[in-house]
């Protein structure tokens, strides 16, 4: 193709994320392109979203070495569309703990690491079982290995420079993801959270559940949701106690687990990026097969909960259900049809 304007091809090739706009304009002028032409070209590329303006702080936070820069270069433009400055630097300084090296938790941790979250720690005990293997998470070869180190390898495969060291005692992460099947119903699991925001992301039975995202003191909490369930059915406390007593087998298809992990990752990044109110504040999203179309359930603050989120005019939970999200009455959907 003919170059319609001398120097135009060089101008476009120079937009590689490594040069400042001032340098690009100076080089274009040297190539004989008038400032008006450069202005029109840059405006057209910006409006078509073919060019994204990057914050200098984000460029500095891309990590050392050509491989880290190459990985960040494919992720950063999507992050940079958030109307907030230095979003990549902000992700690089964030710490997220994933509680549960599950078929949701491990791919979720890997996606967060690949998306620039600087510190991602997967917590779990015990050994990997054959059914834990999932695309982007634990592998078939991991069977029998300690869950936490196999999960760390899954994160390292996509992002070798991510910090995976446990946080010092008493230092809360920016967010903890509860990825065990019944973690949100288990007071012990919730007590193990060291503070900061909490997001539920799991597959219960065959249903993916993302949310609520709990920002302490500002949104409804896991106890609020539990109280709504108690209001709807007095049998709920007994059922919840049974559900959390034993470690359930892995469940959920690969498709359900990965969609759940990706939806959860989007909520985590929306929270870290401060990109507007995430969908799962005071709510959870369920993904049920076969269509896996997201269904939102509201969990407003409960007036009897002491978390401080309830406001006097609060109405009862919409669509409150005595059964947990997923509606399964047996742990992990082992019932036949
Ligand atoms: Zn509450």
CATH of domain 94-333: 3.40.50.720
Average pLDDT, integer, range 148-154:
98
Quote the pLDDT of residue 262.
98
Residues 6+ apart with CB under 8 A from 336: none
Measured in Å, residue 302 CA sits from the centre of ligand 1 at 6
Distance, CA of 103 to CA of 242 (rounded, Å): 22
- Report how far ligand 1's centroid is from the alpha carbon of 306 (Å): 6
DSSP H/E element including 224: helix 222-232
Kindly indicate the confidence band of residue 78, based on its pLDDT and cuts at 50, 70 and 90.
confident
Q: Is the pLDDT of residue 326 over 80?
A: no
Span from the CA of 223 to the centroid of ligand 1 (angstroms): 5
pLDDT at 318: 47
Can you tell me the distance from the alpha carbon of 18 to that of 27, in angstroms, rounded to the nearest whole number?
14
Angle subtended at Cα 200 by Cα 205 and Cα 302, rounded to the nearest 5 degrees: 105
Residues of the chain with CATH 3.40.50.720: 94-333
The Å distance, Cα 157 to ligand 1 centre, comes to 38
- Ligand 1: distance of its center to the CA of 62 in Å? 38
The pLDDT assigned to 312 comes to 59
- Rounded to the nearest whole angstrom, what is the distance from the C-alpha of residue 186 to the centroid of ligand 1? 15
Calculate how far, in angstroms, residue 90's C-alpha sits from the geometric centre of ligand 1: 28
Q: pLDDT over 70 for what percent of the chain? A: 86
pTM: 0.82
Query: For strand 175-178 and strand 95-99, is the pairing parallel, antiparallel, or unpaired?
Result: parallel
How much distance in Å is there from the Cα of 310 to the middle of ligand 1? 7
Q: How confident is the model at residue 325 (pLDDT cuts 50, 70, 90)?
A: very low
- Identify the residue with better confidence: 253 or 277: 253
Measured in angstroms, how far is the CA atom of residue 219 from the centroid of ligand 1? Answer: 8
Neighbour count for residue 119 (Cβ, 10 Å): 20
The gap between the terminal CA atoms of the chain, to the nearest Å, is: 63
User: Which of left, alpha, beta for 136 (phi over 0: left; psi -120 to 50: alpha)?
Assistant: left
């Amino acid at each position: 193709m003919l170059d319609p304007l001398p120097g135009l091809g060089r101008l476009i090739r120079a937009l590689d994320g490594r040069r400042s706009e001032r340098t690009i304009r100076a080089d274009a002028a040297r190539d004989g392109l008038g400032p008006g032409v450069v202005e029109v070209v840059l405006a057209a590329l910006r409006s078509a979203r073919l060019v994204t303006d990057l914050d200098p702080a984000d460029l500095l936070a891309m990590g050392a070495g050509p491989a880290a820069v190459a990985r960040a270069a494919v992720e950063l433009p999507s992050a940079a569309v958030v109307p907030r400055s230095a979003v990549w630097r902000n992700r690089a300084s964030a710490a997220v703990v994933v509680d549960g090296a599950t078929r949701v938790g491990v791919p979720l941790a890997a996606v967060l690491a690949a998306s620039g979250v600087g510190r991602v720690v997967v917590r779990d005990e015990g050994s990997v079982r054959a059914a834990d293997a999932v695309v982007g998470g634990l592998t078939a070869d991991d069977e029998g290995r300690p869950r936490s180190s196999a999960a760390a390898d899954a994160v390292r495969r996509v992002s070798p420079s991510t910090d995976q060291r446990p946080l010092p005692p008493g230092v809360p992460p920016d967010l903890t993801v509860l990825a065990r099947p019944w973690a949100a119903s288990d007071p012990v699991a919730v007590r193990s959270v060291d503070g900061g925001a909490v997001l539920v992301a799991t597959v219960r039975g065959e249903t993916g559940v993302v949310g609520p995202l709990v920002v302490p003191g500002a949104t409804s909490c896991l106890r609020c949701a539990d109280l709504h369930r108690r209001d709807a059915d007095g049998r709920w406390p007994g059922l919840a106690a049974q559900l959390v007593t034993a470690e359930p087998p892995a469940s959920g298809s690969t498709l359900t687990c990965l969609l759940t992990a990706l939806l959860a990752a989007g909520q985590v990044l929306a929270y870290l990026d401060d990109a507007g109110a995430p969908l799962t504040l005071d709510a959870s999203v369920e993904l049920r097969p076969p269509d896996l179309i997201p269904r939102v359930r509201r969990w407003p603050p409960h007036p009897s909960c002491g978390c401080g989120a309830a406001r006097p005019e609060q109405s009862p939970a919409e669509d409150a259900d005595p059964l947990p999200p997923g509606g399964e009455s047996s742990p992990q959907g082992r019932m036949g049809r």
